[in-house]
Amino acid sequence: MPHSDPDPRSDAHETPDSCGFLSQFGKSEDSTEWHSPAPVGYQRGRTKFVVVIGTVMSGLGKGIFASSLAKLIKDKGLSVAPIKMEGYLNIDSGTLNPYRHGEVFVLADGCETDMDLGTYERILNQELTRKNFVTAGQIYTEVLERERRGGYLGRDVQMIPHVTGIVKMRLRELAMTGNNGKQTDVVFVEVGGTAGDYENGFYIEALRELAFEEGPESTCFVALTYILEPSILGEQKSKAAQLGIKRLMEAGVQPHIVACRAKNPVTDKVMEKIAMFSNVPLKRIFSMHDRESVYAIPEEMRAAGLDREILTLLDLHDRTSPAKEDIARATWLDFSRKIYATKKHRVELALTGKYAALRDAYASIDKAIEHCSIALNCEIRTRWIDTSDLTDDSLTAKALDGVSAVIVPGGFGQRGVEGKIRCVKWARTNKVPFLGICLGFQMAVIEYGRNVLGLAGANSTEFEPNCAHPLIAELPNQKKLEGIMGATMRLGGQEVALESGSLSSFLYGGKTEMRERFRHRFEVEPAYVAQLQAAGLRFSGRHPKYPIMQMLELPQSLHPYFTGGQFHPELTSRPLAPNPMFMGLIAAAIASREPEFAATDVGRRWVRGASKPVRA
């Protein structure tokens, strides 16, 4: 009898092997060409997919668009889970140079990811995991390791169906468990790069297959494109956008929605052209032009009706909760209105790092500052200073003159380190509010050792292995301490025990323990801790079990606000919940210029010594 291909959407076509992966390949080498893997118990069509693919050029803000749209759907009471699919062969983003790819964003589970994951966490106020991030390197590694184990039963392993099969499996696994262990209503997929790139072609093909296999009303494709506006012509041109969308359609993907990035609002004429050449109704063409704030985009999407179009395309109207949407919308509108309000306070802040020429290298710090600006009704002007240029104290003083707060951020490598130490010294001796982050925390320890304890030659073994006083070092038994992340890196969320009555405890609402995210290898050398503390430097945050210093501060008698964390507090800052260490820094900076601020309700919460701490 002739062989009849099974329907890939049929529940009977589930995976028979223990991994829930190999589909029907276990029957015989040539039994079928269908390869539609899914986890055991997966219900096809239950989870919907929104796929955002770029055209024309990269860097248009796919993450901002996808996260804003996901927020609208989440506000309606549905569960959402984003996933970023990168085309590069790296296993993760941990080894990428910030100049090449912006900051490395670290998730709570220790996964080092693209900076877009930070956008999703901030907009959705949702903690993500390694399930929300995939690279071509991960996909190819999984395929090749499976092949070496004999997992394909003699088949020749190919891009289609095996590589695309892994992609579909990853998406369905995320759909099954989401970020809360339950099947997700909508998975938002962001494909890195642009349509037509070699490296992401297999993702687009896998998503085309996924839409077919999941069935009607299962998948919504969004094309994010770019509208040119050459100054010499004085008008918008849509041809590049048309050709970019055409490349996507040539790959078998018909977009349902088109978002048009542009400097100015996209004209009706241009949107009509886009609609005509993309087969997308005009009501589903969205002008994603430059706004004063990205936080305004969700409400403008709602006004344009994009959320309703998504619900219609995916047949999700019956899962929504108008009551939840009303509450979420009111909360967000209250927040977003504060963005445009006239600011009562003004602060100039110095961000002193080695990647100051590229703001994306400190994207999360920039956002954490922005969150504080809105919460404290304060205009914050950030002065970006490259510490590689600060070769002596006079240059440092000139660069920092007039600032009300100093941040020394993290980083790897020796370049710019001495300049960072000079910035710490300037902030400490001039009693200017200071925050040291990760490497900045370590620089504060070294500066104190050199200039207060008089330890000539104090340094980190990262930069000078045989220095006279290794205040910062890779601890000999570090690998044994709770199996700290892989080799010697500490990555992801870790507990921090806070000393009662300290500035650290005050900032975190009087708590004696909190959790922040780490990404570092070197620690404060325990042999020097007692000596440093005797000289006034207080280690107010420590590992709950081991002699690992995680926060430092100076008493108020020595400095109004001098603190640092071995972790990255910027990674947990959210629009509606700014990180406490940043709030304390900016509040201290305001109080240094406006002493009466400390007596306000907000001041009493964030300025140490103003009064008894008041919970936010």
The residues facing 351 across adjacent strands are 384, 407
Measured in whole angstroms, how far is the alpha carbon of residue 112 from the centre of its chain? 10
Helix axes 201-214, 164-177, angle to 10 degrees: 60
Could you give the CA distance from residue 478 to residue 490 in angstroms, rounded to a whole number?
10
CA distances from 192 to 99, 120, 285 (A): 18, 14, 21
- Residues with a known catalytic role: 438, 568, 570
Q: Is 237 helix (H, G, I), strand (E, B) or coil?
A: strand
Q: Is 562 helix (H, G, I), strand (E, B) or coil?
A: strand
Could you give the CA distance from residue 541 to residue 564 in angstroms, rounded to a whole number?
10
Alpha helices (runs of H) in 220-287, residue ranges in sequence order: 239-250, 268-278
**22 backbone dihedrals φ, ψ, rounded to 5°:** -80, 5
Token readout for 160 is 């289609």
Among 12, 7, 21, residue whose Cα is nearest residue 166 = 21
Could you give the CA distance from residue 471 to residue 457 in angstroms, rounded to a whole number?
10
DSSP state, residue 162 = I
Could you give the CA distance from residue 259 to residue 576 in angstroms, rounded to a whole number?
27
CA distances from 22 to 34, 169, 213 (A): 10, 10, 16
Q: Cα angle at 364 between 385 and 341, to 5 degrees?
A: 90
Among 283, 190, 272, residue whose Cα is nearest residue 236 = 272
Q: What is the edge-to-edge ordering of all strands in the sheet holding 549-553?
A: 378-386, 345-353, 405-408, 434-437, 562-565, 549-553, 538-542, 490-498, 513-520
